[in-house]
Chain A
Amino acid sequence: MTDLADLTIAQATAGLRSGEFTAIDLLDAVERRAAVTEAHLHAYLTLDREGARSAALAADEAITSGDRRPLLGIPIAVKDNMVTKGVETTAGSQILAGWKPPYSGTAVLRLEEAGAVIVGKTNLDEFAMGSSTENSAYGPTRNPWNTDTVPGGSSGGSAAVVAVGSALGAFGSDTGGSIRQPASLTGTVGAKPTYGLVSRYGLIAFASSLDQIGPIARTVPDAAMLLEAVTGWDPLDATSYHGDVPAISRSLDTGVAGIRVGVVSELTGEGIDPEVLAATTAAVGRLADAGAEIVELSLPAIEYALSAYYLIAPAECSANLARFDGVRYGLRVDGSTTEEMMARTRAEGFGPEVTRRILLGTYALSAGYYDAFYGQAQRVRTLLRRDFAAAYERVDVLVSPTSPTTAFEIGSKTTDPLTMYLADICTIATNLAGDPAISVPVGLDAGGLPIGFQIMAPALGEEVMFQVAAEVERRAGFDTRPRLATSEVVAP
């Protein structure tokens, strides 16, 4: 009998509806898995046992009375930069240690309305700034495939719990690749939707024009279901998309015959690990076999995407993080004047990466430098969007590796920030463009570490994106699980 923690959401829903097991059974299984794996992984920052239990009990009642909401009773985890009422929310930072919000974000409320059972809050790089979860003030999360390596970041915790079964699905946030890259490094499916499709109200802001909440799951259909539960206009978010939500899961079984697939030449050459490249090429080949038309394309502005991102994101975050000042919530370090109190609080409360980005952003916006740095980066962004628009005249989707490497060793990229920033080269462009993208696991490298394949689509093109992703998944035959994801592993 399969351990319930190893079910997909689709399988779990079927089992719940047929009465094979209850939501409490599911929650128990997931909590048992967490009990065993957490000592190895440190993926959760908070487990809301009480909240999860009452949600599961309520779900069971609803299921009995015929309620067919798609996420009813499904245990999921939520990244700790998503505000949850009454449940500690830290954004992975000391500056919010112990903070219990008086409200929940819209995505969280929608998940609760969909009947999901929120198991707990997952670890992340502090304020979502990082690509390895090593920047968490509460210690790193480890990759279940090899616990000496990183799970990626910043949504490393969410990716790890899904990989290992201590949640059946999870949500993270993606500003420069923070859902997709950890999904790639942990062999899970991670999607960033079109900018504006999921409300940012309740997402602790990093870079407002880039941030989006998205799902991490074990399969493409699971990810689609999770995403559908949270999309839609929110009056509390002025940047949320007002129009009709795309039919995200409609074409999952359609296949790719006649679909035009563009391979981004800038992302499939120098700078990409050879094994990753090989796996990418193989995945493209399988799409061709399935009837897709393959085209090689150049997006010249992508060369500058990383530079533009590292001016825009810090600039926006420098203002977004100004509210953390010890006045109304969170950490306070005393000072004899308010100014001293603020400066000391922020110095002690923020880690080095966050401090670095705030300083960088403050500088890029300061008098005399705005136009050369921030202003110029915004113009580069326009050029990038033009490149994408031109590409989508010729193809339906674009593909590339999700990450230039597989999971790297903890501590191996932390000496020089620039090295870490390069981890984002494949994912950043879609955040700047505001377009959707998804990572699907397609194989393992020689070291047994997962490789992710990225599919990008035009804005509001989730349907074709998931359509291609589903085909990639079907043909990749990737059904390995990390060793930790078994009931045989013993707690230390």
Chain B
Amino acid sequence: MTEWEAVIGLETHVELQTKSKMFCGCPVDFGDEPNTAVCPVCLAMPGALPVPNEQAIEGILSIGDALDCTLTERSLFYRKNYFYPDLPKNYQISQYTFPLCVDGRLDVDVDGEPTTVGITRVHMEEDTGKSTHLGESGRIHGAENTLLDFNRAGVPLVEVVSEPDIRSPEQARAYGVELQRIVRVLGVSDARLEEGSMRFDANISVRPVGTTELGTRTEVKNVNSLRSLQRTIAYEIERQIEILEAGGSIHQETRHWDEAKGVTRSGRTKEESEDYRYFQDPDLLPLSIDDAWRARVAARRPELPAGKRDRYAGLGADRRTAELLVDAGDLAGLFEDAVAEGADPRNVGIWLTGEVVRYLRSESVDVAETGLTAASLVELAAMVGDADLSATAAKDVLAAVLAGEGEPRDVAEARDLLQISDASAIEAEVAAVLDQHPEALEKIRSGDAKPIGFLVGQVMRATGGRADPRMVQDLIRRTASG
């Protein structure tokens, strides 16, 4: 029985949120009305010429820098020639040899298992227009006519190409999530998959474990959600393994993911017979990135997700907490401030990833709109640390603080949740319960530990849940052995 290994490479397209398009001054942020953000350049009228957007170049360099790439000294724009009605010039200005960024890496983590995915290149290109189809089904096949809107034509597009270092659907998803985070923290794109400002093409093949030759790959294009990315890769791996194990071979082709049916389908092989006739675009000058420019790019690099994760871990956050905080800047702020004031990072982490997130989601609010502050967390942590509150009680108090009922100590007092940890009070309660259940005490003395839990429960009931359960348990044991 062969053991198979999946070999996956991802090509990710990211639309940059510059103010104007890549090669002309039309706005990138356009409304719904078709063909209202177009000009002679992006409509490819006769005589029009492209001029590159400086901010878009800065944006792609930031992405390359964040992915640890080399920003190449000399880079060229190329024409990728093919005919399609949503491509006004019938060539796309892109890059071929000499892309702007090469040889980078992205570290991803799947449930504590790290992998480094190589980044082959990051290059600059322009987006196409959009086509919609008239016809009964609304689908492109069978449509009588096609309608074209060129508002999106010419929007700056960055393509990130990974090495085929990804080995599982989960890794692919983790890669996608991390890349999305990076692009967002750089502020160059909102990278919203559902809106199309970030899209994935996946190249998938399988091979027997232990071999180094690459199997025939298929490509699934324009995957527009992380969930689909994971599912389509999983499906495709299975499909290929099935075929190979049955003695068949994989046909190199482009396939399409059918979200509803959960399968990939064979697309037309038109792509493979296309000859793009790449040549350097004579309307554009070469790009030259010198050391001073590289230094400027590095200097503006913000704290990236990996750096944040390391920093939160250094502050005592566990992996799950760090992961949450990377995406939630406001919660991260609370965490950092609370820990700086001495709060126990473990507890704060548990609360943030649990109760707080739950509350924010169910109430559809931001933490700034709640009653929770770093000070509240510090106070709550101190109360737990001093055993003034049990873990359970702390959750209730936290919920109340979020709801704006007040600060933790006030809430705890008002709700009578303060843990009883006064030794004499607990002794009295324990003594009372032991009096009521002498047989239990006998059992414990004879070596049976089971009744301890029952007795602790009894004391908790009697104290309305406020006794410190550890103290109670301790006391019972001591009484039993003493």
Binds A, one of B79-87, B248-256, B330-338, B441-449: B79-87
Stretch from A17-25, A109-117, A288-296, A321-329 contacting the other chain? A321-329
- Specify which chain A residues have a CB less than 8 angstroms from the CB of B89 in the assembled complex: 319, 322-323
25 contacts between A and B (CB under 8 A): A81-B47, A82-B47, A89-B46, A96-B46, A101-B46, A101-B47, A102-B45, A103-B45, A201-B47, A202-B47, A203-B47, A204-B47, A205-B283, A207-B282, A239-B284, A319-B79, A322-B89, A322-B90, A325-B85, A328-B43, A328-B44, A329-B46, A342-B85, A365-B81, A365-B277
- Report whether B83 and A325 are in contact in the complex, using a CB–CB cutoff of 8 Å: yes
5 nearest A-B pairs in the assembled complex, by CB-CB distance: A322-B90, A208-B282, A365-B277, A209-B282, A83-B47
Task: Point out the residues of chain A lying under 8 angstroms from B47, CB to CB.
Answer: 81-83, 101, 105, 200-205
Chain A hits for B91, CB < 8 A: 319, 322
| In the complex, B48 has a CB within 8 A of chain A | yes
Interface string of A330-352 (1 = CB under 8 A from B): 00000000110010000000000
Task: Determine whether the beta carbon of B277 is less than 8 Å from that of A323.
Answer: no
Distance between Cα atoms of A327 and B43 in the complex (Å): 10
B213: interface (CB < 8 Å): no
Query: By the criterion CB–CB under 8 Å, are B51 and A367 in contact?
Result: no
A315 interface hit (Cβ, 8 Å): yes
The distance in angstroms between the C-alpha atoms of A329 and B47, with both chains bound, is 13
The reply to whether the CB of B267 lies closer than 8 angstroms to some CB of chain A is: no
With A235-B51, A238-B50, A366-B275 known as contacts, the answer to whether A329 contacts B45 (CB < 8 A) is: yes
- Nearest residue, chain A, Cβ from B46: A204
Given A204-B46, A238-B283, A328-B88, 5 further pairs, Cβ under 8 A: A83-B47, A239-B282, A322-B89, A323-B45, A328-B43
Expressed in whole angstroms, the Cα–Cα distance for A353 and B241 within the complex equals 54
A279, CB-defined interface residue at 8 Å = no
What CA separation (Å) do A329 and B148 show in the bound complex?
13
- State whether the Cβ of A237 lies closer than 8 Å to any Cβ in chain B: yes
- Please name all residues of chain B whose beta carbon is closer than 8 Å to the beta carbon of A319 when the two chains form the complex: 79, 81, 89, 91, 277, 279
Let me know if B83 and A237 touch, CB within 8 A.
no
Q: Do residues A370 and B46 form an inter-chain contact, with CB atoms below 8 A?
A: no
- In Å, the complex CA distance between A101 and B47 comes to 10
Query: CB distance B88 to A323 under 8 Å?
Result: yes
Partner of B51, one of A238, A322, A362: A238
Q: A423 within 8 Å of B by Cβ? A: no
Question: Nearest Cβ distance between residue A309 and chain B, in whole angstroms?
Answer: 14
> Could you mark each residue 44-69 of chain B with 1 if its beta carbon is under 8 Å from any beta carbon of chain A, else 0?
11111111100000000000000000
Closest Cβ of chain A to B25, distance in Å, is 9
Q: Does A236 contact B (CB under 8 A)?
A: yes
Q: Residues on B close to A: CB < 8 A? A: 40, 43-52, 79, 81, 83, 85, 88-91, 146, 148, 150, 275, 277-279, 282-285
B284 partner residues in chain A, CB cutoff 8 A: 238-239
Contacts of A384 in B (CB 8 A): none
Given the complex of chains A and B, what is the CA–CA distance between A250 and B197 in angstroms?
A: 55
Q: Which residue of B lies closest to A315 (CB)?
A: B279
Q: What is the minimal beta-carbon distance from A159 to any residue of chain B, in angstroms?
A: 21
Given A89-B46, A322-B90, A367-B275, answer yes or no on A239-B81 (Cβ-Cβ < 8 Å). Answer: no
Shortest beta-carbon distance from B146 to chain A in Å: 7
Q: Taking A237-B51, A239-B285, A328-B88 as contacts, is the C-beta distance between A323 and B279 under 8 angstroms? A: no
Within 8 A of B (CB), among A47-94: 81-83, 89, 91
Give the residues in chain A near B44, CB-CB below 8 Å. 323, 328
Partner of A338, one of B48, B81, B85, B275: B85
Q: Do the beta carbons of B283 and A325 come within 8 Å of each other?
A: no
In the complex, A237 Cα to B146 Cα: how many Å? Answer: 33
Please determine whether B52 and A238 come into contact, CB atoms closer than 8 angstroms.
yes
A237 to chain B, nearest CB (A): 5
Q: Is B46 a contact partner of A362 (Cβ separation < 8 A)?
A: no
With beta carbons under 8 angstroms apart, the residue of B40, B79, B88, B150 that contacts A102 is B40
A312 to chain B, nearest CB (A): 9
